[in-house]
Structures are given as C-alpha cells and as structure tokens.
Structure 1
Amino acid sequence: MVDLVLLAFIGAIAAMGLKRPFLWVLLYIYVDIVAPQKIGWGVITSISLSLLVFVAAFLGYLVLDDKKGSRFAWRQGLIAALLAWCAITTLGADFPDSAWAKWDWVWKSLVFAAFLPLTLRTRLRLEAAALVMVLSAASIIIPAGIKTLLGGGGYGQLASLVTDNSGLYEGSTLSTVAIAMIPLIVWVARHSTIFPKSVWTRAFAAALIFAALLVPIGTQTRTGLLCIAVLAMVMLRQVRHRFLYAGGAALALAAALPFLPASYTERMSTIADHEADQSASTRVAVWMWTMDYVQRNPLGGGFDAFLGNSFTYDTRTTVDEGGSRAVEYSEVTEQGRAFHSAYFEVLGEQGFPGILIWLALQLTGLWQMETLRRRFAGSGNPDDLRWRALATALQHGQLVYLVGAMFIGVAYQPFMFMLLGLQIALWSLMRGRLRAAGAARAKPWLASRRGRAGEGAPA
C-alpha cells in the first residue's frame, strides 16, 4: 500500500511535468531528500528512482523548458571544478571499490547543485524550490520530533521514516540540517507567495521549527546542540530587541532543562572534555592522522581514504571506589575510522586542491549573501527586503551547516549543496537590482563631488 501511494504521487508529478518540465526538477529535490525508495517495501525498492528522476529533470530542461534568463555563474564553475577534481582523485583512489561506491552519489549531488540555478530563472521558481526543500525535509523532521516527544530516541537509535543510517536519516546529519533549515522555514512562512500567509501557515511553521529543535534531543547529538547555539547567535543580527531576545532564549533554556532526558544531558557534558568520551577522542585522533596523511599525499587519497588509518590514543574515565573517585586511563587502538569532519573529509580525500575549491565555494557564498543583505538594507522597496530576507536565511543556514560540518562528514551533503544552488540562483536574479542599488548609493556621492568641483572652479 505504501509503495502504491508513493508511486501514485511521483507518477502524478511526473505526468504534470510533461506540460511544466520544471516540476521534474522539484520532483528530484523531493526524491533526493526523502529517498521514497527506502520507505517502501515492494516494487519501489527495486526501481532506480533517483537516477530516473535525475535524468528526467535534465532532459526536461534541455528539450522542453524555456531557457530564457538562464545564466551560468562562476560559482557553478567552482562546483564543476570540484566535480572534476573528485573524478581525478577517484581514478587514483587508495581504495577504488569504496571510492567508486561513494562517487555514485557524490557526482549527482555536485552536478545537480551546478544545474539547479540554470532552472531557477524566475523568482517564482526560486521560491518553489525553497518551499519543496523545506517540505521534503519536514517529512523526515516531523516524525523524528514526534518520536522524541513520545520518549523515543537515543544516540544512534532515533529512526524517522525508516531505520537507516545514511543521508538525512543519519542522526548527526539530520540534526545539522534540521537546525540549518530553520531560517529558511521562517522565510517561507513570512514571504511565500505560493501559500498565502494565514494563521495556519504560521502555526505549521512554528510546529516545524519546534520539531527541528527537538531533533538534536532525540538523536542526542552534540553537533546538534552546537548548531542550535550558532543559530541563536547569528539570529541576533536580525532581531529588533536583542536584549529581550537573549533573555527569552535564556529563560526558554532554563525551562527546558528539567524536561531533558538524563542520557542527553550526560552526553552533552562530554563536549568540554573530549578525553572523557571515546567518540570525541576518536575524532581528534583521526584529524591528527589526516594532517599527517595529507603531508605525505598533498593531492589526497580519493573517497574513503580514511580506511587506511590506524592510531592509538588514551581515554580517561572517572570511577567510584567506595565513596571516592579515581581516574583511570586506558589505551585504545582504532583503524579505518571515518573523518568525522567535512573539512578533514575533503582534505584527506581531495588534498589541498580540493579543500581550496570547497572552501572557496563556501566562503564566496557567505560573501555574496552578505553583499545582498547590505545593498538592500536601506531599501524602501518591499520586494528588495523580501529577497534580502532570503539572502539572510541562506547565509544563516550555511553558517550553521559550516559549524556542524566541523564534527561530521557532510562535505557533499545533497541538501546543503541544494542550498548553495539557491544562493547562486538568488545572486544571478538580483544582479540587476544590485547594479541599481549601487547606482542609487553612488548618486549622492557623485553629486557632492560635482558640488565641490563647482565651488572650486574660477568665477
């Protein structure tokens, strides 16, 4: 029954795409985020659904769609350069079988991120893509939030739609994306023209934000807690009453603490001391190994190069001994442990060329969104302020992701690369407005210069 419902929904959207091929792009966003082929039990699990919709989205754009207004931006060139370098390192990977398995999904993530801005040639399409991203991720976040409220969850135990540990269904990844998505949820609720603003849309957005905040508690991931802290800090930039906001956040935290599971607070307490937690100690040891590895292999070792690591480190535990506490040290040997950081993931797999391209792609996105924020800050045009708010949401979501990515291997996470695609599309669509805003700012300065020049001219 589940398979029939999912296939009927996908088939209906695919049929409508014959008239509006852009719907196939939105359908791929849904399929790539939700992975409905994992939800079903029968025929849908045997279909290469992601690849079929991926091909349909491209063919629909190339053959059926109107390409007027499509632009290729230089940040798309950075994505293409990263894709090309990943292909080169995969050909010479230390562990070819594992590397090609990862390449099977990474290339689609990068290609679609470069392709997406070409299809978002109008503001309505940009808004539609943002809405579908929010609703698709919401279909995973809402069940996770409900299960957390009902007392389910635990580290590595919270299952949302399916029992899976990959993509958005992995606990730390879901926690990071859920918090990073909150600014986009707020923007959709406040500025969407697809769904009219009403008490129902605001209530749904509030409930979805609450569910997103519950995800790090249900998954018991330290990364999620850090992401919440970062989001709280960056939101200070846009709230009117900062002291009231800070006070309200502190009160909300104090009120929530008694209701948090003891297992959650106990796990969060290990943030301050990585030696007291084997998982955190492993991360640090892997990072040190990666630094040594890349010195010997500056061009990287290809996908999953971590399989070659081996290291030994000490952990510290405190035990009770008849009313007194004693500290015990133990030696742990690990091998083949994952990078546990997007930064070290790219560095170890793609070497110095790859990390430079990846960082350039991320940092230029922050810069472009900040440029839009500042140029439209003083505008009296509601439309300018609307897109300024989207630039802010995309920047804040990216900042949350970049902090969360310090502790989990999500360097090529499809949802976040889609977010970069939205950034590129927004920048391309706003270039005309940027020029107009720059000219408006320059007029008073030019007038003052001409005035001074006139005053200094001989009578």
Structure 2
Amino acid sequence: MRDILVTLIVFASLPWIIRNPVNGVLMWIWISVMNPHTQSWGFATTFPFAQIIAVITLFSLSTSRAPKTLPASGITFALLAMLLWMNVTTLFAIFPAASQVQLAKVMKIMLMSLVTMVVIRSRQDVHRMIWVLAFSLGYYGVKGGIFTVREGGNFRVWGPIGTFIGGNNEIALALIIVIPLMRYLQLSTDKRWIKHGLTAAMLLSGMAALGTYSRGALLAIAAMIALMWLKSQKKLLGGMLILMCVPPALLFMPARWAERMDSIGDYQADTSAMGRINAWHMAYNLAKDRFFGGGFEIAEPSVFYLYAPNPAAVHAAHSIYFQALGEHGFIGLALYLLLGALTWRSAAWVVRHSRDETELQWAGDLARMIQASLIGFAVGGAFLSLLYFDVPYYLMAAIVALRALTEQHLAARKAEVIR
C-alpha cells in the first residue's frame, strides 16, 4: 500500500512540476530528504523516483519563462568554486575509479542544490521549502520521539536505512537542524492548532535526538538551543521554557544513556572516539603530503598505512571538516569554511536589515532560525561524515533568496523615499 501511495504522489506531481519548476524542487527535497520510499517494503524501495523528478524538473526549468541564472551572491560563487575544486581533486585521486563514482553522486546532489538557488526566489517559495524540510525530517522526529517516550529511552532511535540520515548519529543531527525551522513556522502562523502541533513536533524531535544516544548530538543540541535563546527577542520567557523542558527530558532518559553521555569527558578510553581522532590525523597528514588531497573514498587500509598514527584503525573521517581536508586538501577545506562563513554573514545581514522593517520580520525570523540550524550542524558535523548532506545546502539557498528579497524590499523603500 505504501509503495502505491508514494508512486501515485510522485507521478501525480509531474504535471505540476512541468507547469512550475519550483514544484519540482519541492518534490525533489521531499524525496531526497525524507526518502518516503524507504518506508515501504516493495518495488518502491528501489524505484528511481529521484531521477524522474530531477529530469522533469530540469525540463520544466529549461522551458519556463522564469529566470534561469544563479543569483549573484558570494554563497553561489563559493559553492561553484568548491564544486570545481572537487572535480580537480578527483583528477588526482588515490583511487580514481571509486572517486569518479562518488563524484557523480555528489555532483547530482549539488546540481539540484544549484537548481534550488535558481528557482527559489519569492517569499512563498522559501516558506514552502521550509515546510517541506520540516515535514520531511519532522516525520522521523515525531515517530522517534513517540518511540523514545514509549520505551522509556531504553532503545536507540535510527533513521531510514540506506540514506544520509540512516545512522543514529546522522538522524540526531538532522533533527537538531529541523527544530529551529519548526520554530520559524510557528512564528509565521496565527493558527493555534498549527502552533500547538509544531510545539509537540519540536518536543518529540528533541526527545528523538536524545533517544539516538548520540554524544555529538548532545553537544550540537546544546549549541543550537543556546543560539536560539540568544537570537530570541523574549529571552526571559525563552530561558524559562528551556528550564521547564530540558532538565525533565534529560532526567527522563535511563541511567545507561547518562553513562554514555558522561563518556564524552573520558574519550581516551573510548575506542570509537580514538578511531575518529586517528582518522583526523590521517586526513591532516594526507593533506600535508598531497596538495590536492586524496580524492573521494579514501577510508582504505592502504591510505591509513601511509598516513595514520594507528594504521590498523581504519575509519571514515567522521567530521565534515576533516572529510573536506582529507579528500580535497587545504584548499578544499578553506572553500568549505568560506562557504559557511559567507552563509552566516548573509544571514546576519538579513537579520540586521530586517530589524526595523515590519514587512521583513518573517525574513529576520527565518534567518535567525537558519543560523541556529547551521550552528547545530557545524558542531554536530565535527563528528560525522556529512560533508555532502543536502539539507545545509538547501538552507544556503534559502539564505540567498532571503538576502535578495531583503535587498529588493529596501531598494523599493528607498525609491519611494526619493520620490
């Protein structure tokens, strides 16, 4: 039944995608982020829904009268430079065949991220995209939160198998990213039932994140909550809500959860943590030795034999930063950090210039919440190999659109004053 439902939804959306490429981007985000086909058990699990949506979306974009150029933004230029550099580093990859295969996968993700930047231009488009992201990840947050509460936190929460967020650590970070987006949607509606529903979704998503037993997620959620509180215009109320919700949630979790979290301070005795540190040393040593890095797919024994302090402990990078460093060298890491810094600065610019504009309050609210999402990703991503996870790139596209819309509004206001 689920297979048929997902198939009907996708194919029913194709005429709407042809009519407007924005609909294609929204469908792509739903399929690629939520991966609804993984929740079925039949033919839909391997059916190429994403490829079909991507092809129809590109066709719609090519025939549409809408603008087809990337917005002139430092974010887009930095992203293009990073993608170009990835293609260059692949030419010098340690494992050319495997690197070429992974490059093709990454370029597909990045192509649709660029298409998102092209077509998401209006307030309505941005708002709809945030709703799709909130629904896609919130589904697992609500589901996982109910599971955690029902089972007393005694069993781990996992994401959809075979996806970016399939692991317990990965789904935890995804839920941390989506909670601030839910808060924006709550701020943007006057309907009480939607506000209450989003409150429940945020609380359950928080419980689900705790239920993953992810230590990195605990650090990320602390950073995310702290930034949300700092960005809040009602700090006293926000502080009271944090005190009312966070301690009871932590006390609810069982003793073995607390023991796992306590191991953060004793990482030297944890084989998983030491394995990650070994992989980080390997990435650093490799980048020092090879200007272009090692290319994609370098978590191999032969590479660790050459560059790791402990050659026997072969691990993936388990860090977006060391993943960029090991695969694409110091220039690749610098471009990735530049992309993040420009996104943060653009969000801050939107917050600053929308502060005294009633019509731009929504833009300021969303920019603040995206900053909270990104700080959670920046902290949690330090312990996960999620360099190519698509959700942060969609949030970058949202910031590009927010800045353009803010600039347009301020220019129109200035023109009125001159007249």
1:296 deviates by 0.5
Partner of 1:390: 366
Cα distance between partner residues in 2 of 1:203 and 1:374? 29
Partner of 1:239: 232
1:305 deviates by 1.8
Cα distance between partner residues in 1 of 2:365 and 2:69? 23
What do residues 256-309 of structure 1 show as CA deviations (whole Å, max 9, x unaligned)?
333212221111001112112111111122212221121101211101223221
- Preserved contact between residue 354 and residue 406 of structure 2 (Cα < 8 Å): no
The answer to whether residue 124 in structure 2 is matched with residue 129 in structure 1 is no
Partner of 2:329: 351
Partner of 2:173: 176
- Going from structure 1 to structure 2, the CA distance change for 1:91 and 1:152 (only over 3 Å counts) comes to farther
- Going from structure 1 to structure 2, the CA distance change for 1:255 and 1:2 (only over 3 Å counts) comes to closer
Partner of 2:351: 373
Cα distance between partner residues in 1 of 2:53 and 2:46? 15
Cα distance between partner residues in 2 of 1:437 and 1:297? 52
Partner of 2:315: 337
Amino acid at match of 1:6: V
Q: Secondary structure at the match of 1:71?
A: coil
Amino acid at match of 1:343: Y
What do residues 42-70 of structure 1 show as CA deviations (whole Å, max 9, x unaligned)?
33234222122112112111113533897
- Going from structure 1 to structure 2, the CA distance change for 1:91 and 1:140 (only over 3 Å counts) comes to farther
The answer to whether residue 304 in structure 2 is matched with residue 309 in structure 1 is yes
Cα distance between partner residues in 2 of 1:15 and 1:179? 34
Q: Secondary structure at the match of 1:126?
A: helix
1:91 deviates by 3.0
Amino acid at match of 2:94: D
Which moves more between the two structures, 239-248 or 263-272?
A: 239-248
Partner of 2:157: 158
Q: Secondary structure at the match of 1:273?
A: helix
Cα distance between partner residues in 1 of 2:237 and 2:45? 50
Bigger share in helix: 2
- Going from structure 1 to structure 2, the CA distance change for 1:253 and 1:129 (only over 3 Å counts) comes to closer
- Preserved contact between residue 179 and residue 227 of structure 1 (Cα < 8 Å): yes
- Preserved contact between residue 154 and residue 254 of structure 2 (Cα < 8 Å): no
- Preserved contact between residue 341 and residue 407 of structure 1 (Cα < 8 Å): yes
What do residues 126-178 of structure 1 show as CA deviations (whole Å, max 9, x unaligned)?
111111111111222222222222228778x5334x4x153122221211121
Structure 2-normalised TM-score? Answer: 0.91
Cα distance between partner residues in 1 of 2:64 and 2:298? 41
The answer to whether residue 279 in structure 2 is matched with residue 286 in structure 1 is yes
**Matched residues, number:** 415
Cα distance between partner residues in 1 of 2:195 and 2:241? 20
1:115 deviates by 1.8
Amino acid at match of 1:363: A
Partner of 2:399: 423
Amino acid at match of 2:317: F
- Going from structure 1 to structure 2, the CA distance change for 1:280 and 1:132 (only over 3 Å counts) comes to same
Cα distance between partner residues in 2 of 1:429 and 1:239? 22
Cα distance between partner residues in 1 of 2:239 and 2:193? 27
- Going from structure 1 to structure 2, the CA distance change for 1:356 and 1:151 (only over 3 Å counts) comes to same
- Going from structure 1 to structure 2, the CA distance change for 1:105 and 1:227 (only over 3 Å counts) comes to same
Cα distance between partner residues in 1 of 2:283 and 2:51? 33
The answer to whether residue 77 in structure 2 is matched with residue 77 in structure 1 is yes
Cα distance between partner residues in 2 of 1:21 and 1:241? 39
1:75 deviates by 1.9
1:87 deviates by 1.7
1:71 deviates by 3.2
**Map 1:216-227 → 2, pairs under 5 A:** 216-227=209-220
Gaps of 5+ in 1: 314-331, 444-459
**Map 1:22-37 → 2, pairs under 5 A:** 22-37=22-37
Partner of 1:106: 106
Amino acid at match of 2:139: S
Aligned-residue Cα RMSD (Å) equals 2.6
Which moves more between the two structures, 358-367 or 178-187?
A: 178-187
Task: Work out which of the residue numbers 228, 245, 249 in structure 1 matches 2:242.
Answer: 249
- Going from structure 1 to structure 2, the CA distance change for 1:255 and 1:74 (only over 3 Å counts) comes to closer
Partner of 1:321: none
Partner of 2:120: 120
- Preserved contact between residue 69 and residue 121 of structure 1 (Cα < 8 Å): no
Partner of 2:62: 62
Bigger share in strand: 1
Structure 1-normalised TM-score? Answer: 0.83
Task: Work out which of the residue numbers 192, 195, 198 in structure 2 matches 1:199.
Answer: 192
- Preserved contact between residue 306 and residue 348 of structure 1 (Cα < 8 Å): no
1:359 deviates by 0.9
Partner of 1:53: 53
Percent same amino acid among aligned pairs?
23
- Preserved contact between residue 126 and residue 425 of structure 1 (Cα < 8 Å): yes
- Going from structure 1 to structure 2, the CA distance change for 1:203 and 1:334 (only over 3 Å counts) comes to farther
- Going from structure 1 to structure 2, the CA distance change for 1:312 and 1:297 (only over 3 Å counts) comes to closer
The answer to whether residue 183 in structure 2 is matched with residue 190 in structure 1 is no
